[in-house]
Structure formats: structure tokens, C-alpha cells
């Protein structure tokens, strides 16, 4: 049975172009055998989580979406050679042939494919009890929605892939951003029905119904569905199991009370890839550091500046700053930190923005002040809508920096990328708001044409 399990994982690990180019006549037989055994089905899902932690949009590694989009926006400086993946994002020179562009796409769709195999296998299974099946299916639909959210916010129009038929996938058409987001909401509706309210474990390493609400609120914010964003975020905030950590030093511990969903490191004693990537053990940096613009934008009394940003001097006493949300850069006796994907603080800022758009300004101010008070900052009083929106964006900048590209996606959805990034990066062009579609994928599937504007 172990051989069968690892065969499926090998199939799931193929790149999009790989699995689109080969026939897999024995794949369905393999899947049928796996999804008649609960433990093997759970192991197949564990393989998806391992992939998410290792690569793609949700990985905190040096090839993950978070560091790429941090370099692409105004959070990070790259010190790698100009032709490296990080520097291509930092210098806005990514192109349809870029390795990083192709890998983000292929890794994400390979993960989607693995998820779709699990959904298809579980749907056809008669050998797994309904409680286990529902939990795994709920997680799978949630993850499929999450991945497509990042794909469409990064590349623009993309396919929403739900099939395990490789022939069908070779001819799949793009959907508009709005269509992809709506499809993600449909998947989340299924997930909401299947998952429980909260995790039955201290470590919140599997999505729950609360994680579904958190992602729904974000998608509704992006779609400007203000009432629905308020309703979804309120469900999270009203759940007493998820509260803002008043101690900033505990926010990114694996036991954090504000954590909604987090990715567990692969091995016991390992900590986050973010901690290993961002922590400067010596200077000058060889990969990335925080931009001075970001560091200097914090208010003097902001405790987040003190707790979440570190510094290191080189021998010439030049100071370089780094994200220190995760304190563990190395292996420890036991795992101390997980990569937190969703946390409750974002929900207050989502609801504040939605309240503002509904002209419920006092409620918006109250939510912003929850975050500001925890950071040791004076509370805001309402002045006007423009200033309050600026305050919300500012809090998002300082609360969510170096977390899965929030800064880039915020500036993009608000239509102010050109204002902020063109000032910081003179080479920036409006079309850069969407990454190019990988040229290799356009050659495989002509239905993905046309290429994004400007490329």
C-alpha cells in the first residue's frame, strides 16, 4: 500500500506541463485503491500540505510567492545578481521566460491537480467513513479556492481547474478575475458546509470553518461586497477561540491565539522557512532586507517596529533591517513556530475597510483602534473618509508586511500601484500589475492566449 501512496504523490508532484503531456492510464486505479483507506487518504492530503509549505504562493521559502511579491512591491530589497529570480522581481524585469514565473504557475497548478485527485477519489470512495471524508473534502475545497485566489490576483485571468482529466486540462480556457473569485467562493461554500467550527488541536494546522470565513471575508473585500465582508469577518472576530495577541512576541508562536490557520514545518524541530530566509545572521545581506521606506514609515512608538524588525551592521557599520516576526532561524529541540497563513488581526482590518465603505465610520475607527492599541499607538479619532482609508492602509502595511504579498495585492486592488511603486521604482509600468503568463504554458495551450498586456 505504501508503494501505491507514493505513486500518487509522485503524480501530484509533476509540473503542470509534465502531467499535461503524458498519459496516466494507471492513475485512476492507484487513486481508487488509496481512497478506500482513511489513513492513506489522510496521507495524500498531508502530501499536499507538505507541498504548500515547500513551494508556491504559500511557501515562506526563497522561491515562495511571499518573498517574490515583497520584492515586487516596496517591502524588500534584493541583493542577488540581476538575473536571479528575486532580483528580477525587485527590478521589475520578470518576463514570460522567467523561471520564477513558470515555477509559481506550475507549482500552484500541480497542487491544484493533487487536490482535484483527492476530491475525485473521495467522491467515489465507499470505504471511508463520512466524518473523515467530509473533513478531507472540506480542506481540499478550501485549498483549491485559496490557490486560485492567489493565481488570479497575481496573473489576472487564469483557468479555474477542477478536472483530473489531463486531456481536458490541455485545452482549458482562462476565466476573468471576477469569475475566478466567484468560483473560489463556490468552493468555499462547499468547504463551509463540511468543516467544523474550529480545530480540535492546539496547533491550528488544518483549515476549519473559521478559516473559511476568513478567506471569504478577504475575497468579498476584493470584490467590494462590503456587507458580505463584514458578515464573514464578524464570524471570525466573534469566535472567542481566536483573539488578538496582546503580546507581540507571541503573535508568531505556533500557540498564538490569533492564528487561524498555519502550515507546519516538515520535520520535528524545524521552524519556519520565513525565519530562515529573512533573519540576518550577518551583514551585508546576500538575499533580501527590508526597505528603509518601510522601516522608516513606522510611528516612533509602534511596538511592532521594536518587536518585529531586527537589524544587523556590517563591518563598515552600515545598518540593514530584516523582518523578525519569526525568531527561529535554525532548527530547535522542538518546533517553536509555524508559518501563519491566516490570523485574526487581518479580519479587523478587513472589517474596518468594509465598514468605512458602508459609511459606518465610527465602527471602522473602533476596529482600526483594536490593532493600533495593541501596537502601543494612540487611538484614532475620525476626521474624514480619505484620512481614515489612509490609516487603514497604513495599518495593513505595518501589520501584514512580509506575509504572503499582502502589500502588493493591497496596492493592486486599490488601484494605487502606479502611485506607490512607480515612485519607488522608476522602471515600473502599469502593465506590471499582472505577471506575464509563462510562455511555456501558452505554447502548450493556445486557449490561454492572449498574453497579458505589455509582455
**Residue 19 — pLDDT band, cuts 50, 70, 90?**
very low
Rounded mean pLDDT, 289-309? 97
> What pLDDT is recorded for position 366?
97
DSSP string, 5-64: HHHHHHHHTS-HHHHHHS--TTHHHHHHHHTTSHHHHHHHHHHHHHHHHHSBTT--STTB
Q: Which has more confidence, 170 or 429?
A: 429
> What pLDDT is recorded for position 17?
40
> What pLDDT is recorded for position 189?
98
CB environment 2-32: b (16+ within 10 A), e (fewer)? eeebebbbebbbbbbbebbeeeeeebeebbe
Please give the share of the chain, as a percent, with pLDDT higher than 70.
92
The region of weakest confidence among 132-136, 195-199, 292-296 is 195-199
d(CA 199, CA 208) in angstroms, rounded, equals 6
- In this predicted structure, the answer to whether residue 14 has a pLDDT above a threshold of 70 is no
Give the number of other Cβ atoms within 10 Å of residue 342's Cβ. Answer: 26
> What pLDDT is recorded for position 2?
39
Choose from 22-36, 192-206, 268-282 the range with maximum mean pLDDT: 268-282
Rounded mean pLDDT, 224-241? 97
**Residue 21 — pLDDT band, cuts 50, 70, 90?**
very low
d(CA 180, CA 151) in angstroms, rounded, equals 9
Rounded mean pLDDT, 120-124? 95
**Residue 61 — pLDDT band, cuts 50, 70, 90?**
very high
d(CA 52, CA 56) in angstroms, rounded, equals 6
pLDDT, tens digit, for every residue of 22-41?
Answer: 333 344 445 567 888 999 99
d(CA 396, CA 142) in angstroms, rounded, equals 24
Asked if 106 and 12 count as a contact pair (C-beta separation under 8 A), the reply is: no
pLDDT, tens digit, for every residue of 318-339?
Answer: 999 999 999 999 999 999 999 9
* pTM exceeds cut of 0.85: yes
Q: Is the dihedral of CA 440, 446, 447, 453 positive or negative?
A: positive
Give the number of other Cβ atoms within 10 Å of residue 310's Cβ. Answer: 16
Q: Which has more confidence, 211 or 7?
A: 211
Domain ranges of the chain: 1-61+80-175
Q: Tell me whether residue 354 is exposed, middle or buried, using C-beta atoms within 10 angstroms of its C-beta: 0 to 12, 13 to 18, 19 or more.
A: buried
- Give the chain's mean pLDDT: 92
> What pLDDT is recorded for position 200?
61
DSSP string, 226-282: HHHHHHHHHHHHT-TTS---SSGGGTTSTT-TTEEEEEPPSSTT---HHHHHH--SS
> What pLDDT is recorded for position 163?
93
Phi and psi, residue 133, nearest 5°: -60, -45
> What pLDDT is recorded for position 8?
46
Phi and psi, residue 343, nearest 5°: -145, 160
Rounded mean pLDDT, 257-280? 96
d(CA 34, CA 216) in angstroms, rounded, equals 31
Rounded mean pLDDT, 355-365? 96
> What pLDDT is recorded for position 166?
76
DSSP string, 194-233: HS-SS-SSSS--S--HHHHHHHHHHHHHHTT-HHHHHHHH
Rounded mean pLDDT, 79-105? 95
d(CA 236, CA 259) in angstroms, rounded, equals 11
**Closest C-alpha among 115, 107, 94 to residue 31:** 115
Three cell numbers written together for 75? 517591502
Amino acid at each position: 500500500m505504501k508503494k501505491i501512496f507514493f505513486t500518487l504523490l509522485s503524480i501530484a508532484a509533476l509540473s503542470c506541463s509534465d502531467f499535461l503531456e503524458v498519459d496516466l492510464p494507471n492513475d485512476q486505479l492507484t487513486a481508487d485503491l488509496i481512497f478506500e483507506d482513511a489513513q492513506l487518504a489522510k496521507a495524500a492530503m498531508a502530501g499536499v500540505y507538505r507541498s504548500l509549505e515547500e513551494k508556491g504562493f504559500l511557501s515562506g521559502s526563497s522561491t515562495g510567492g511571499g518573498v517574490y511579491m515583497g520584492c515586487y512591491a516596496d517591502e524588500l530589497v534584493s541583493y542577488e545578481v540581476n538575473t536571479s529570480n528575486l532580483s528580477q522581481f525587485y527590478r521589475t524585469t520578470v518576463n514570460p521566460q522567467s523561471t520564477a514565473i513558470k515555477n509559481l504557475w506550475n507549482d500552484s497548478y500541480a497542487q491544484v491537480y493533487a487536490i482535484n485527485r483527492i476530491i475525485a477519489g473521495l467522491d467515489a470512495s465507499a470505504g471511508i467513513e463520512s466524518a473523515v471524508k467530509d473533513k478531507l473534502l472540506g480542506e481540499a475545497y478550501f485549498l483549491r479556492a485559496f490557490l486560485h485566489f492567489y493565481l488570479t490576483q497575481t496573473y489576472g485571468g487564469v483557468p479555474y481547474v477542477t478536472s483530473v482529466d489531463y486531456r481536458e486540462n490541455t485545452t482549458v480556457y482562462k476565466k476573468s478575475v471576477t469569475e475566478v473569485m466567484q468560483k473560489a467562493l463556490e468552493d468555499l461554500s462547499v468547504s463551509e458546509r463540511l468543516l467544523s467550527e474550529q480545530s480540535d488541536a492546539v496547533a491550528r494546522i488544518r483549515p476549519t470553518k473559521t478559516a473559511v470565513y476568513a478567506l471569504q471575508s478577504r475575497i468579498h473585500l476584493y470584490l467590494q461586497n462590503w456587507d458580505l465582508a463584514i458578515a464573514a469577518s464578524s464570524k471570525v472576530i466573534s469566535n472567542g477561540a481566536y483573539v488578538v495577541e496582546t503580546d507581540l512576541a507571541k503573535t508568531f508562536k505556533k500557540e498564538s491565539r490569533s492564528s487561524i490557520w498555519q502550515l507546519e514545518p516538515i520535520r520535528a524541530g524545524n521552524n519556519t522557512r520565513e525565519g530562515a530566509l529573512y533573519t540576518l545572521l550577518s551583514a551585508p545581506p546576500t538575499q533580501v532586507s527590508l526597505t528603509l521606506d518601510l522601516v522608516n514609515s513606522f510611528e516612533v512608538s509602534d511596538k511592532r517596529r521594536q518587536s518585529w524588525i531586527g537589524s544587523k551592521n556590517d563591518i563598515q557599520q552600515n545598518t540593514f533591517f530584516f523582518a523578525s516576526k519569526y525568531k527561529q532561524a535554525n532548527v530547535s529541540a522542538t518546533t517553536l513556530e509555524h508559518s501563519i497563513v491566516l490570523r485574526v488581526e487581518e479580519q479587523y482590518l478587513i472589517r474596518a475597510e468594509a465598514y468605512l465603505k458602508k459609511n459606518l465610520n465610527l465602527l471602522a475607527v473602533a476596529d482600526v483602534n483594536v490593532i493600533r492599541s495593541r501596537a502601543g499607538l494612540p487611538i484614532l479619532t475620525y476626521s474624514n473618509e480619505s484620512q481614515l482609508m489612509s490609516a487603514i492602509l497604513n495599518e495593513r502595511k505595518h501589520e501584514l508586511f512580509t506575509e504572503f504579498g499582502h502589500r502588493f495585492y493591497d496596492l493592486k486592488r486599490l488601484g494605487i500601484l502606479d502611485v506607490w511603486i512607480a515612485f519607488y521604482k522608476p522602471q515600473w509600468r502599469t502593465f506590471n500589475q499582472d505577471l506575464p503568463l509563462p510562455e511555456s504554458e501558452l505554447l502548450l495551450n493556445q486557449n490561454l492566449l492572449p498574453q497579458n498586456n505589455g509582455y
